[in-house]
Amino acid sequence: MSEVTATPAKPAAKPAAPAAHGAAKPVAAAKMTPEMSAIAAKFGGAVEAAQYEGLLVTDHSKFIEIATYVRDVLKYNQLTNNTATDYIKDGVIEVVNQFTRVPQGGAPLTLKLRVPRPSGNDKTQPVPSLCPLYPGAEFQERETYDMYGVVFEGHPDLRRILMWEGFNGWPLRKDWKEAYYEGDTKPFESRWPGGDHKLAEERVPWEDNVNYPPGFDPFAFKPHPDGDIYDSMLAPSDGTVSIDNGHGVAPTLIEGLNASEMAELKTDEIIVNMGPQHPSTHGVLRMVVKLDGEKVTDLKLALGYLHRNHEKIGERNTWLHNIPYTDRLDYITGIYNEWGYVLGVERMMGLKTTDRVEYLRVITGELTRLASHFWAIGFLLNDLGAFFTPALYFITERDLIIDLLEAVTGSRMMCNYMRFGGVSRDFTSAQWAMARELAFERLPRTIDELDHFLTENEILKARSIGTGYMSADRCIAHSLTGPCLRAAGIGYDVRRADPYGYYDRFDFNIPVLYNGDVYDRYLVRVQEMRESLKIIQQALNQAETQSKVGDIQGGKKAYNHRVPAGQCYARVETPKGELGYYLVSDGNQNPYKYHIRSCSYINLNSMKEMAVGQKVADSVVILGSLDIVLGEVDR
């Protein structure tokens, strides 16, 4: 199960540092696992038990050595999550790193570092970057830098990633206040004090919240919009690119020409911006591509066009308020977004759910997986040039599924279905019959048709086999999860690796293929759709005999919750990969820390390695095979 602890009845013999939020009582030290004990035994005074979970590395000079031991000896080969927490009353910022064994799974191992909290908008003292050990740290550490001002020494490209380069301040620090700030937590006081209709100048003085740094003139300041995004890309190269398509590495020499003849044909390299307003980017994403002819020699991604600081909003909301906000992340898979969040809160509160709740969550979740995979395959074909018929065909099937979800939840996409300990509604008898019709009759036929018409299609195979290859080891190193990881031969799925809900009651397989290319990512999704149908069919049958209709709330239904002080990392397997929530509670009605481990965002970190050496047209197909949604990428 995921790593969760709460304040015990008796304090630990050696309590950790004082509570981060000024509590009078000492907080609980983390329970030592065998792996934590092994680290403590080897590195002695360099580590100690952190508060609530994991180890605190007190000697930063030993951090890389400890992380290497974690990777090579303890076999935690993937960096699952990197974030930070601003403990403003303690005067520290805590950097959190969580590691997972892939494909074995199990609870993550947590290593933390603390740095003194700087004053004002200053950056922190540097901490070692994990990028040399775990390439998947690149985007995650950039986000932590962007939001908290944490400097990662040794990071290859430490720039802002979600905010623009001219942005002032670090948005997730507790003392950062946006324009029109009203309060640290909701519910806010009314924007119209006194309840009467005052003149505009007598209302809340919003203009006082618009503060610029000393000497900053927003009308005169004209930074380069991307900072130094182009700098490394403008460096001259010899025009030779190594391509690994799974069949060996070879330089890009034209057949029949030697190196000197190639030099005569050498063309100038150019930089092309693809997006952010471009249909191939699946949303407001910009790919900055360096090209030698049609060959991609470098690639960088510009993100953040859709950023609305979801996590800051989440820390202002009450615990319950956040459930409908999670739907706005990956808006194709809202049920899973809700599920991961309520799962974490339930574990922290010790809430138990009923059988009916768990079956309904599985049924609606797997229906959502099917709808998402229909959408992903349709868009992949769109990226390949099949502009009309396939996309419409798959959207029709997806619409049937979300017709059912709308009937049950009241909304087609922003379902707001989960509750702490339950769900909002049960299925009616007519909805249950529709679910059975879809699961046992309609969708199996549709998936058979999809498989029949597409899998052996010569154009699909020609464009996707060998395209966007990434080896299994590199997939793990880049923190890739979901179908993209399983297409490279790694059978890692959170439903099996760190079980939640009632997935341990169902007979289903985790599809695994081994070529690590676009074609196998497509095939894995088709096979997963068949497995989802098996799960739904079993859940429907079991629910009829092992659950009570209408029993949809475990524990007391409440509109205000005070989650016990503690920390939790809860995760679910979405259609895109591992979606995780790192939550910290100080015992109040609002989350103190609310962080989303976005699988779409982290999977994008592998885009450059997959695309370099490929044709520029293939970069569009590779991006499509990752199946991202920008609402979750940018948050």
Q: Is a pLDDT exceeding 80 seen at residue 92?
A: yes
Range with the poorest average pLDDT among 178-192, 454-468, 519-533, 544-558: 178-192
Amino acid type, 254? I
Q: What is the pLDDT of residue 195?
A: 46
Q: What is the pLDDT of residue 190?
A: 47
Residue 146's H or E segment, with its range, is helix 137-148
Q: What is the pLDDT of residue 258?
A: 64
More confident residue, 28 or 151: 151
More confident residue, 392 or 467: 467
* For range 217-221, the mean pLDDT: 67
Q: What is the pLDDT of residue 225?
A: 58
More confident residue, 25 or 90: 90
Q: Using 50, 70 and 90 to split pLDDT, how confident is the model at 11? A: very low
Q: Is a pLDDT exceeding 80 seen at residue 20?
A: no
Q: What confidence tens digit (pLDDT) does each residue in 431-477 have?
A: 999 999 999 999 999 999 888 888 888 888 888 898 889 999 999 99
Q: Using 50, 70 and 90 to split pLDDT, how confident is the model at 244? A: very low
Q: Residue 239 CB: number of other CB atoms within 10 A?
A: 18
Q: What confidence tens digit (pLDDT) does each residue in 359-368 have?
A: 999 999 999 9
* For range 401-410, the mean pLDDT: 89
Beta bridge pairs of residue 40: none
* DSSP codes of every residue in 554-599: -S---S---PPSEEEEEEEE-SSSEEEEEEEE-SSSS-SEEEEE-H
Q: Is a pLDDT exceeding 60 seen at residue 95?
A: yes
Token pair belonging to 389: 């018929």
Instruction: Tell me which range, 161-170, 330-339, 380-389, 391-400, is most confidently predicted by mean pLDDT.
Output: 330-339
In whole angstroms, how large is the CA radius of gyration of the chain? Answer: 25
Beta bridge pairs of residue 93: 86, 115
More confident residue, 254 or 118: 118
Give residue for tokens 């952010």. 276
- The yes or no reply on domain 310-634 and CATH 1.10.645.10 is yes
pTM of this structure: 0.84
Q: Do 307 and 635 contact (CB within 8 A), yes or no?
A: yes
Kindly list the domain boundaries of the chain, sorted by start residue.
4-153, 310-634
Q: Which has the closest alpha carbon to 566: 584, 593, 544?
A: 584
* For range 584-610, the mean pLDDT: 91
More confident residue, 531 or 501: 531
* For range 69-77, the mean pLDDT: 93
Secondary structure of residue 600 in the 3-state scheme: helix
Please give the mean pLDDT across all residues of the chain.
82
Beta bridge pairs of residue 62: none
Q: What is the pLDDT of residue 436?
A: 94
Q: What is the pLDDT of residue 197?
A: 46
Using CA atoms, how far residue 498 sits from 3, 107, 482, 511, 598, in Å, is 10, 7, 14, 17, 17
Residue 81's Cα: distance from chain center in Å?
9
Give residue for tokens 């509109």. 559
More confident residue, 220 or 434: 434
Q: Using 50, 70 and 90 to split pLDDT, how confident is the model at 224? A: low
Q: What is the pLDDT of residue 242?
A: 45
Q: Inter-axis angle of helices 518-546 and 443-454, to 10 degrees?
A: 170
Q: Which has the closest alpha carbon to 583: 296, 256, 344, 260?
A: 344
Q: What is the pLDDT of residue 23?
A: 37
Between CA 277 and CA 202 the distance in angstroms is 41
Given the candidates 2.60.40.10, 3.20.20.140, 3.90.550.10, 3.30.460.80, the CATH classification of the domain at 4-153 is: 3.30.460.80
Q: What is the pLDDT of residue 106?
A: 87
Residues in the chain: 635
Under 8 Å CB-to-CB from 49, ≥6 apart: which residues?
Answer: 12, 14, 16, 29, 30, 32, 36, 55, 56
Q: Do 288 and 233 contact (CB within 8 A), yes or no?
A: yes
Between CA 374 and CA 380 the distance in angstroms is 10
